[in-house]
Amino acid sequence: MRFNTLFRGGFGLLFAVAVIFTGCGSSSDGRDRDVVWAVGNADSNGYAALYRSDDGGTHWYRPDANATMLEGFDAQNLHVTAVDDVWVVGTVQTLVHTDDGGQTWAKYATFPDENSSIDLYGISALSPDEFWVSGSNGSVYHTKDGARHWEKMDPAAFHNGLVQGIKAIDALTIYAVGKPADSTGGFVSRSLDGGENWEAITLPDNYNANEWIGVKATDKDHIVVYGGRGHYSATADGGTTWINGLINVSGGVDGADINDLIMLDTVRWWSAMDLDNIFLTTDAGVHWNEQNSSGASNMFLVGIDAADAQHAVIAGMAAGSPQIGKLLLTRDGGTSWTQQLLTEMPMQKVMFAPAEDVNATEEEGGSMFASIIRTSVEGFVGGATGDIGGVVMGLILEKIGWGSQGDDEANKLLQSMNAKLDDILNDLQAIKESLDSLKVQLNLDMEIINKNILDPTDAITDIGTTHDEFDATFGGVKSGEGNQTEIHAFIDNHIVNDFHIENDVNTIHDAIVPPDIAKTPALTNFTNFVNDSYTQGYGTLTDAYKAMELYTSQLIVNQLKGVNLVVEAKHVEEGNASVTQYMGSYQTKLHEMLGDPGNGESFIYNAYRLALMHANPLPYQSGDDYFTDEAAALLKRAEFYRLLASGSKTFGPRILVFQTQDTPSDNSFYIANPDTILKNSQFGCVQADGSVPGATYVYWDGNSIKPETAYDVYECGITDPIEPRTYDILDQNPNPYIIALSTAKTIGQITVQRYDENYSVQPDGNYTYGHTTFFRRSALNHFAQDSEYWSAHTDGMYLSDTYGSAPWGTGILGQADGEYEYTGHYEIDGSFRYDGTQERTLYVDYDATYHMVTNSYYTGAGSSEAHAYVHFGVWDATAGQAATVFHSHHQDTVGDTKDTLQHPTGVAHFTAKPGHSYYVYFSMHVSGISGMPDDGTHSRVYLEEINYIYLHF
């Protein structure tokens, strides 16, 4: 099925098929992704078709079928950022967006060349704010700020033609495919620098003669372009080699087009084709298995997306007249497909909302630049005792004769070292691109950020300049043929004698771990800025963390270029011993910069701090956690980064414990699984030297409270080898020879998996790793029934008495018969003192239950009354006045009876003053009068339970 915007009859109906940024594959939390969106052409009233399903594609509805912003265009493609956040592109250069599930829509007229003759067919997103769109007239646009501004690519790069598919794999790598304006066949264009330059990809065997409809990728190595007459071409090495393929099935004039294709992983692809053809491959196209379609026949299947290998939805449109559409569903991997919706308008594309579990984004892999840090440091240390030397860049020693043409082993080693240089330079560019993207999302101004630190920019520039100057001076000289005197002079003057490169390396270290407090440490300062941006509504918490990770990587990788120059020079001038000593010193510095949580300045310290600043210090309600899933995910990634960058040989299962400073320490954890009990299964826990600040909590010292932000940190791990699987975490040793397993309490689980160096889960990954976070604090409810802070007293008791046992399960009863009057007051108080140094708002969360009865009766002309009162609040004992009253209720009866059960709950607040003593009070009062001999009355208040009283700032 090829593109046009008009129905010409027969098989001439041509519609937009373009790539969707799906993030497809199994949802990481193992659950079906239930929200699906589908788009299609305008209905008979002129409104674009946008459908939503909340049950995985079984039932569909239009959230706002007649929204004004949906009028006058055909919706051709979409990207679903979140369940309720959807971007849609269509004809007449239309881009619309909803962030409330389709109840309202905004239309963007922000393209640099507003042109209603341009139709948009493709959309590919890198983040909620950065995406690419494509369409007719060679139109390709790029935005980094959520469609507020756009950059248009040169249409000549796409033959001024129909750019039907676009895929942004990362910030640098973008593919665009389609049909040229001035010829038949198709084109594949690629940019490797974020769109600055584009190159044409020539496919083998003249496969460019085919019109290309779409392009998909799982990563920058595995890419598939697909389109006309069942043709496709795939690469598994980033485009170095392409292998052509064909799904040879009838349809259309000369074969069925592949209109859409979803890559579940590198080998499992699902295709939607002309005339109800559905094919699945599980071996990267070596074999294709046909599946049966359903519903209305003679349809072009033009859109497909999958939640996982079993659950997928397909969009279709009629191959002729009338112009109808359908949506198909499978939940058994395509063994059966069912038609769930038949529409009056052609349907174009479908997309599942991403899994709401943020762990789905946590393990995307990629951008784990700790790998280049590890590779470089290992190269320096390993080479220091070798025959050639401690070179990673390999430039200096190569020029002075090491690795001459006659030494094959030396040449191989130097080639490897130069390859590492390429990795460093490539990663630096990738770090810059990724960080630039996040800076836009987080609204960061690096000039302001750098003003607050010992800015290492000059040191980084000096390192790069020295390297470039050396290469410019001696780079054209063959190995061993350079002027040795000049080369040694360069090394002496630029590296050894004045120590300026070594000083540059130290300057970058001192920016992160400053020797004095004149300026804020670089990573601490940067974390402050990204956190402020996040709290002001820019980006996500994950964006904030990843920006900090990238900023760290940028500093360290630039520093490593300098370290390499120093290592090379020391090896030439002084030999291996000097190199070994220097690298030992540098590894200490590396730990200070990356892995020391106790110095208040390192990468891992700031990762902890970022998560703690958004912690919930009062997780008492059902289902509440101290950390959100997103915060727990960034902590897991941060620990992996630290272990990888520091060259740790042991990853294994890791537990991170944060606890308030008034919590007794008992961090003993053991690991077991239902099938077998591991030996030596205790986690070794080490407390960080210093505390880490985070969300404010109430610190209890006896009955005194104060605001506190410091948390103790324990880092726990198992060093013994462990197989990937999910394990129970126990509070006792599960060894049956020591303690019965049945007595051990399961306090959590940890999933151990294998990862590659890019933090992607891979069955053959080199790193076995699992991570979970625990939070511990002193008792939240310090006013539990057995608390020593309670007291009780009575006042004005006449014909009244208390009953029960304080502090609760207790009450007051007053009663009178005949011509008598009763009164009584009973109060239960929970005392505390505020020891903060300044006034602060203190919140009181409360939940209580009490029973109130009032009863009065009289005969003839007599009268009787019964009254009961309850007041709950906080009393300022120092000032002698109420601080707040958070519940009041009174009940009166005259000649009748009232019996009620009250359950007051809520949150109150007051201003706590330094040094003042307070008490939470539960005040109960009864009174009544019996006016005649035959009259009677009684009142009763019974405090059944105080479920909790929590104090928090």
Using one digit for the tens of pLDDT, what is the confidence trace for 438-495? 888 888 888 888 887 878 888 888 888 887 777 677 665 554 555 667 777 777 777 7
Per-residue b or e along 214-229, where b marks 16 or more CB atoms closer than 10 Å to that residue's CB: bbbbbbbebbbbbbbb
Q: Which contacts (CB < 8 Å, 24+ apart) does range 677-681 have? A: 677/734, 677/735, 677/736, 677/741, 678/720, 678/722, 678/727, 678/734, 679/720, 679/735, 680/718, 680/720, 681/718, 681/720, 681/733, 681/734, 681/735
Residue 573 confidence (pLDDT) above 60: yes
Q: In one letter, which amino acid is 665?
A: S
pLDDT level of residue 620 (50, 70, 90 thresholds): low
Residue 570 confidence (pLDDT) above 70: yes
Q: Judge whether 927 and 889 are in contact, CB under 8 Å.
A: no
> Percent of the chain, pLDDT > 70?
85
* Strand-pair partners of 776: 659
**Region of 25 on the Ramachandran plot (φ > 0 left; ψ -120 to 50 alpha; else beta):** left
Residue 689 confidence (pLDDT) above 50: yes
The pLDDT of 271-277, averaged and rounded, is 93
pLDDT in the model for residue 484: 66
Tokens of 453: 């630190």
Strands 131-135 and 140-143: antiparallel
pLDDT in the model for residue 406: 41
3-state helix, strand, coil in the chain (%, to 5): 25, 35, 40
Per mean pLDDT, which range of 481-485, 759-763, 837-841 is the poorest?
A: 481-485
The pLDDT of 621-649, averaged and rounded, is 84
User: Higher-confidence residue: 288 or 412?
Assistant: 288
The pLDDT of 835-850, averaged and rounded, is 94
pLDDT level of residue 28 (50, 70, 90 thresholds): very low
Q: Give which of 93, 96, 92 is closest to 105, Cα–Cα.
A: 96
Task: List Cα–Cα distances, 506 to 376, 523, 861, in angstroms.
Answer: 17, 16, 98
Residue 367 confidence (pLDDT) above 60: no
The pLDDT of 675-684, averaged and rounded, is 68
Q: Judge whether 315 and 348 are in contact, CB under 8 Å.
A: yes
Cα–Cα distance for residue pair 386/403, rounded to 1 Å = 13
The pLDDT of 380-404, averaged and rounded, is 45
Cα–Cα distance for residue pair 40/347, rounded to 1 Å = 4
* Residue the block writes with tokens 């897991």: 636
The pLDDT of 317-323, averaged and rounded, is 87
The pLDDT of 830-834, averaged and rounded, is 96
Q: Judge whether 18 and 164 are in contact, CB under 8 Å.
A: yes
The pLDDT of 648-659, averaged and rounded, is 89
Q: Angle at CA 343, nearest 5°, toward 338 and 349?
A: 75
* Residue the block writes with tokens 């020879």: 737
Q: In one letter, which amino acid is 228?
A: G
Cα–Cα distance for residue pair 233/279, rounded to 1 Å = 16
Q: Judge whether 717 and 655 are in contact, CB under 8 Å.
A: yes
Residue partners of 710: CB distance under 8 A and separation at least 6: 661, 691, 692, 693
pTM (two decimals): 0.62
Residue 353 confidence (pLDDT) above 50: yes
Rg of the chain's alpha carbons, rounded to an integer?
A: 35
The pLDDT of 364-369, averaged and rounded, is 57
Cα–Cα distance for residue pair 554/569, rounded to 1 Å = 23
Cα–Cα distance for residue pair 284/670, rounded to 1 Å = 43
Mean of pLDDT over the chain: 84
The pLDDT of 487-508, averaged and rounded, is 80
pLDDT in the model for residue 350: 97
Residue partners of 521: CB distance under 8 A and separation at least 6: 453, 511, 512, 513, 514, 600, 601
Beta strands in 596-745 (DSSP E): 652-660, 670-672, 684-687, 692-701, 704-717, 725-730
